[in-house]
């Protein structure tokens, strides 16, 4: 009787706290652009302190917004991509990626061209994630009613845009009344939200500081790339030749300095024009969309391997000789036009060395979007042009330049090793998006260890490549570089045993994307032998035995006679990772999770499709359940009237609730006490 009363009180307490959160309210409308063209407008009003994510937020972090246009075949075609209002960029130190997010409001627009004149409505399915203290996987289906379409072959043009207001405020899942969060959660949310949006809130002249830092980072990286290109055998020997031309052809020193300045500016203009063309052709935001696309990442991988092979001496990448000859003839004209063509001749002749660097920089700039390609080419060309200008203005400095020689090829080969290492970052991006697990953390680090190790051996003179000159000794500079690369190679090795490798954070796959999440041979401290996994179980965070299927987990709990910790979580849930890293990792909590409960972790954002026989329409929400994530999200909503993650419940071994559910609980002692109370209820 006492146990029954306890369960009743817990149930009543839980019902008082149950809530279906939906911090995003939508309105939709149709704007008629012409007789057969309509713009579908979806406006999201986001509650204060919450945020949702752009379609283009990088992989490896929170989930992007996804738009799926239904009943499209034979009825209408999409004109371009779905556009969106301006997002803000914030670095997420949990996932170690920049995330593109909307706060307060977001607007999405899609232009369609109707091909079926009898079409009266268009359905759009939207899937998105909203986060604050907890992350929520949400989806909506909008129905846009279209005005009648004139069927005459030559219709009168629409003089003014016709707006069809649907005034559709989308209700929460299953049209349930959304209950407000408790005052305590609201108060704590304000504190936590300051941490999440600290960088976003700081704006200077309309541009977020994070975006400015990103552009400065691109500029500095490109400047270093330009300096590296300067030290290659295609460019460095041209410095004295160019300086000699200006000093001999100019009638006065002043004219020589002026011509050298124009020459340097011309180099900068040529490369900035290249960056501008890339931005203009693809569009500011489209570049970023390409950079997160699986196939483009794979193409970039092969492109960088091709560049690396060229730098290592397999072949030369050259533009047609006819181009160089034509440009040379134009350069003989003299004057400003001639100087401009001289700069273009430098770009063409040196392409075999600068092309791979420029290509790599444009690929990297594409991941930032916006004007990053222009900024990148400005940085690259500034570093390339500056020495030509300075040595032409001050010819006496030429005496301090080192002589051309084998060291130039060493620089070129070194760039080849760097290109090869960087190439695997793009292959890793594609693998992460596909979740194919071909290039997990251990494999990636092994590849980098081999590449940088081979580079070190090359620098020590133990490997020679096709264009290397015979060497009897190595210079002091080459020795220092060899030592530095060797140190970096040795630094990478502990990463195989679980070291975080913070110096290269963001380059290798995350710790969780691994054959052994805690390092090769790691037994999670203490030298304990890893216990065998029960059937259907997996190793979760901190080597906790976990089940990812509810029925299988309950069956095992019955078998061993332990209570269950039911964990509603998500792969892209920030605060789920925070709980695992900062609360579950504490010894007093970890010992409970490993020894006293059976953990069942249900991922509500698991995109794997259910078998056809297992798909169904939810009786609670009326939604089609077609993925594993849909199934567990629907289970959470149906049973607990809650749709936020993380969300924890303690159950007995029969699957009955025996503790009040809790969400994000960063206080270790509070979470430990909650767990202990649930276990105590199980033992009563």
| 296-309 pLDDT, tens digit each | 778 878 887 887 88
Average pLDDT for 47-52: 90
| Confidence grade of residue 269 (pLDDT, cut at 50, 70, 90) | confident
User: Is the model more confident about 416 or about 39?
Assistant: 39
pLDDT value of position 363: 64
| Confidence grade of residue 107 (pLDDT, cut at 50, 70, 90) | very high
Reduced DSSP (H G I as helix, E B as strand, rest coil) percent helix, strand, coil of the chain, to 5:
50, 20, 35
| 218-233 pLDDT, tens digit each | 788 888 888 777 777 6
Average pLDDT for 164-183: 39
CA–CA separation, 191 vs 187, rounded Å?
7
Cβ atoms < 10 Å from Cβ of 619: 9
Q: What angle do CA 542, 544, 547 make, to 5 degrees?
A: 135
| Confidence grade of residue 529 (pLDDT, cut at 50, 70, 90) | very low
For the chain, percent of residues with pLDDT exceeding 70: 70
Average pLDDT for 130-144: 86
SS3 590: helix
CA–CA separation, 61 vs 196, rounded Å?
14
Q: Does pLDDT of 498 surpass 70?
A: yes
Q: List, as one string, the DSSP characters of 123-178.
A: EEEEEEEEESSSEEEEEEEEEEEPPPPP-SSSPPP-SS-EEEE----PPSGGGPPP
Domains of the chain by start residue, with CATH: 22-178 (2.60.40.1250), 215-491 (no CATH), 537-683 (3.40.30.10)
CB 307 within 8 A of CB 388: no
| Confidence grade of residue 325 (pLDDT, cut at 50, 70, 90) | low
| Confidence grade of residue 199 (pLDDT, cut at 50, 70, 90) | very low
| Confidence grade of residue 240 (pLDDT, cut at 50, 70, 90) | low
Site of tokens 């817990």:
10
| 13-35 pLDDT, tens digit each | 444 445 677 889 999 999 998 88
Q: Does pLDDT of 9 surpass 50?
A: no
Site of tokens 């704007």:
31
| Confidence grade of residue 396 (pLDDT, cut at 50, 70, 90) | low
pLDDT value of position 187: 36
pLDDT value of position 247: 61
**This model's pTM is above 0.75:** no
CB 538 within 8 A of CB 544: no
């Amino acid at each position: 009787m006492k146990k029954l009363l306890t369960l009743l009180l817990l149930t009543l307490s839980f019902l008082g706290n149950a809530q279906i959160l939906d911090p995003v309210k939508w309105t939709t409308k149709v704007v008629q652009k012409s007789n057969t063209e309509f713009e579908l407008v979806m406006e999201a009003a986001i509650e204060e302190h919450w945020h949702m994510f752009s379609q283009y937020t990088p992989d490896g972090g929170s989930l992007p917004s996804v738009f799926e246009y239904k009943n499209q075949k034979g009825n209408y075609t999409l004109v371009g991509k779905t556009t969106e209002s301006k997002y803000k960029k914030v670095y997420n130190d949990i996932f170690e990626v920049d995330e593109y997010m909307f706060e307060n409001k977001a607007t999405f627009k899609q232009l369609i061209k109707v091909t079926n004149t009898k079409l009266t409505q268009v359905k759009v399915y939207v899937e998105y994630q909203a986060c604050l203290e907890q992350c929520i996987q949400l989806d909506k289906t909008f129905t846009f009613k279209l005005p009648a379409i004139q069927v005459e072959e030559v219709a009168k043009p629409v003089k003014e845009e016709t707006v069809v207001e649907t005034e559709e405020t989308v209700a929460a899942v299953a049209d349930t009344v959304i209950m407000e969060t408790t005052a305590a959660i609201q108060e704590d949310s304000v504190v936590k939200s300051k941490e999440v949006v600290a960088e976003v809130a700081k704006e200077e002249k309309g541009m977020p500081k994070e975006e400015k830092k990103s552009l400065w980072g691109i500029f500095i990286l490109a400047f270093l790339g330009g300096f590296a290109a300067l030290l290659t055998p295609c460019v460095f020997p041209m410095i004295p030749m160019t300086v000699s031309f200006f000093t001999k052809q100019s009638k006065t020193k002043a004219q020589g300095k002026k011509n050298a300045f124009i020459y340097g500016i011309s180099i900068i203009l040529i490369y900035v024009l290249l960056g501008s063309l890339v931005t203009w052709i693809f569009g500011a935001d489209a570049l970023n969309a390409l950079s997160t696309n699986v196939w483009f990442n794979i193409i970039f991988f092969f492109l960088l391997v091709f560049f690396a092979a060229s730098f290592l001496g397999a072949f030369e990448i050259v533009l047609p000789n006819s181009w160089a000859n034509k440009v040379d003839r134009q350069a003989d004209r003299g004057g400003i036009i001639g100087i401009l063509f001289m700069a273009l001749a430098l770009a063409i002749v040196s392409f075999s060395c600068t092309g791979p660097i420029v290509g790599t920089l444009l690929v990297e700039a594409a991941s930032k979007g916006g004007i990053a390609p222009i900024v990148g080419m400005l940085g690259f060309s500034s570093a390339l042009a500056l020495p030509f200008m300075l040595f032409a203005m001050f010819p006496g400095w030429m005496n301090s330049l080192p002589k051309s020689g084998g060291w130039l090829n060493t620089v070129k080969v070194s760039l080849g090793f760097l290109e090869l290492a960087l190439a695997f970052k793009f292959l890793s991006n594609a693998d992460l998006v596909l979740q194919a697990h071909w290039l997990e953390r251990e494999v990636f680090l092994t590849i980098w260890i081999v590449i940088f190790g081979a580079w070190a051996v090359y620098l020590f003179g133990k490997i020679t490549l096709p264009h290397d000159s015979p060497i009897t000794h190595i210079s002091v500079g080459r020795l220092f570089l060899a030592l530095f690369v060797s140190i970096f190679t040795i630094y990478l090795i502990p990463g195989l045993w679980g070291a975080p490798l913070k110096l290269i954070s963001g380059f290798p796959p995350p710790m969780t994307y691994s054959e052994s999440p805690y390092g090769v041979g790691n037994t999670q401290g203490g030298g304990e032998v890893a216990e065998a996994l029960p059937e259907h179980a997996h190793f979760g965070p901190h080597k906790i035995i976990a089940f990812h299927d509810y029925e299988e987990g309950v069956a095992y709990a019955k078998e061993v006679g332990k209570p269950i910790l039911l964990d509603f979580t998500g792969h892209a849930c920030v605060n789920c990772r925070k709980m695992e890293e900062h609360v579950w990792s504490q010894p007093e909590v970890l010992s409970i999770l490993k020894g006293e409960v059976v953990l069942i972790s249900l991922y509500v954002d698991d995109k794997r499709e259910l078998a056809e026989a297992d798909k169904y329409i939810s009786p609670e929400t009326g939604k089609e359940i077609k993925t594993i994530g849909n199934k567990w999200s629907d289970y959470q909503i149906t049973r607990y009237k809650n749709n936020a993650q993380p969300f924890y419940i303690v159950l007995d071994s029969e699957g009955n609730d025996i503790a009040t559910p809790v969400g994000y609980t960063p206080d270790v002692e509070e979470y430990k006490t909650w767990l202990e109370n649930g276990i105590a209820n199980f033992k009563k």
